[in-house]
Structure formats: C-alpha cells, structure tokens
Amino acid sequence: MRKYNMKSKLSLEAFVLKTTTVDGYEVIVGGICPRGMKEEAVKFYQNISKMKLGQTKDEFLIDYTLANAITYLSPNWAFLVGASICIDGVNSNTGGIIGNPFKEYESSDEDIEKIKEGLYLISFSGGPGIAFEGTNSEGILLKNMILNYKAAKSRKVEDIIDKLDEVTNLYVLVTDGCGPRNCGGIYISDYSGKKQETFCI
C-alpha cells in the first residue's frame, strides 16, 4: 500500500520506450518530462533506433556513446532522461545512464543531486540510477537502502521499487543493460500508474 499523498506537487510525468538501434542492439529510454509532453518525448527518443551504438565493448565508451546519443536527440525542454543498452560480451556492469542530457557526462558518484525543487537524483556505479519526487531526507534513506541492497547482492530491483512506492508516485529507475547476469531496464511511475521495459526474457 502506498503511503504518500497521491497528488503530485510537480506538474510532471514519466515516459519509457524500448527499441532496437540500426546496428541491432536493444535500447530503452525513459525519463521525466513536463505534464502533457509524454507522447512527444517518446517520438523524440524513438529516433535512437536510427543510430549505431554498439561499436565498442569498453565500459566507459558504452556509457559515453549512449549519453551523447541522448544529448543529440533531446528537445530543449528535456531535463531528466535515462537510457539502458544491451550489448553482449561486456565484462563489467555498464550501459546505463541517467541525468540532465545537457550537462557534461560524469560517472556516478552516489551523491544526491537536486534536479529542481522537489525532484532528486541518485546514481551508483554499476547501477541503479534513480530520479524521484520527494525530499533530500528521503533521498538519504533511499541511498542507504540501495547501498545495503548492493552489498547484499541477493536482493532484486523489485525491493528498491517497493521502497520507492512507499515514498513517491513519480520516479524513474535505470539499471545497466550490459555485464554478467545483468538484466537492464527502466522502471517508471507517475500519476497514470507504473510501467517498465527490460531486456529480460
């Protein structure tokens, strides 16, 4: 059962789509956008299917290439976008990004970043990355919970989703699409409900 106020204070909504790049790699894009722009956002990011994104198996370059593609496709009103790509044969967990597409790409550092009033971002090396409506103190609780989740290694991403559902009904969670036993995906929630796209069969 959700414990938060169902009415979001922010006039925002979440979107997600899954497609395949021109060189045959599955990619998922999702984010938070101004309310009423969800369908428009999906149209913009659907164009990632016209790009080649699988030319490398280098951990840094996979994320860097993905981030550059998202920046290139982003409309000027975009402020929070995540993406996950599935490339076989990559040895480390990678292939997941989240953040402002117009800010310089940086590796995850586990800090809690304020995107705008009432909207925060937490990202971890090796995933996940989460943007959510809430407070900084809720961000600290989520961060500590995710650190415990990562340390346990046996927990599922659904455990994080359950905790997010107790805090908010507006979020985007991104997991890495590459790496051993990795099942990447993007999970979203907003006033219209929850949705997810993953690479799991």
Residue 39 lies inside a defined structural domain of this protein? yes
Residue 54 lies inside a defined structural domain of this protein? yes
Residue 2 lies inside a defined structural domain of this protein? no
Q: Which domain holds residue 33?
A: 12-198
CA distances for 141 relative to 27, 92, 163, angstroms: 30, 27, 10
Residue 174 lies inside a defined structural domain of this protein? yes
What pLDDT score does 150 carry?
Answer: 78
What pLDDT score does 2 carry?
Answer: 42
HEC per residue, 130-158: EEEECCHHHHHHHHHHHHHHHHHCCCCHH
Residue 3 lies inside a defined structural domain of this protein? no
Show pLDDT as tens, one digit a residue, over the chain (201 residues): 344 444 567 899 999 999 999 999 999 999 999 999 999 999 999 999 999 999 899 999 999 999 999 999 999 999 999 999 999 999 889 999 999 999 987 776 778 999 999 999 999 888 899 999 999 999 999 999 888 887 877 668 888 999 899 989 999 999 999 988 778 999 999 999 999 999 986
Measure the CA–CA gap between 108 and 123, rounded to whole angstroms: 5
What pLDDT score does 200 carry?
Answer: 83
What pLDDT score does 114 carry?
Answer: 93
Tell me the pTM: 0.93
Q: What is the DSSP letter of 1?
A: -
Total domain count for the chain? 1
What pLDDT score does 173 carry?
Answer: 97
Residue 160 lies inside a defined structural domain of this protein? yes
Measure the CA–CA gap between 133 and 114, rounded to whole angstroms: 10
Residue 5 lies inside a defined structural domain of this protein? no
CA 37 to chain centroid, in Å, comes to: 18
What pLDDT score does 111 carry?
Answer: 85
Residue 181 lies inside a defined structural domain of this protein? yes
CA gyration radius, the chain: 16
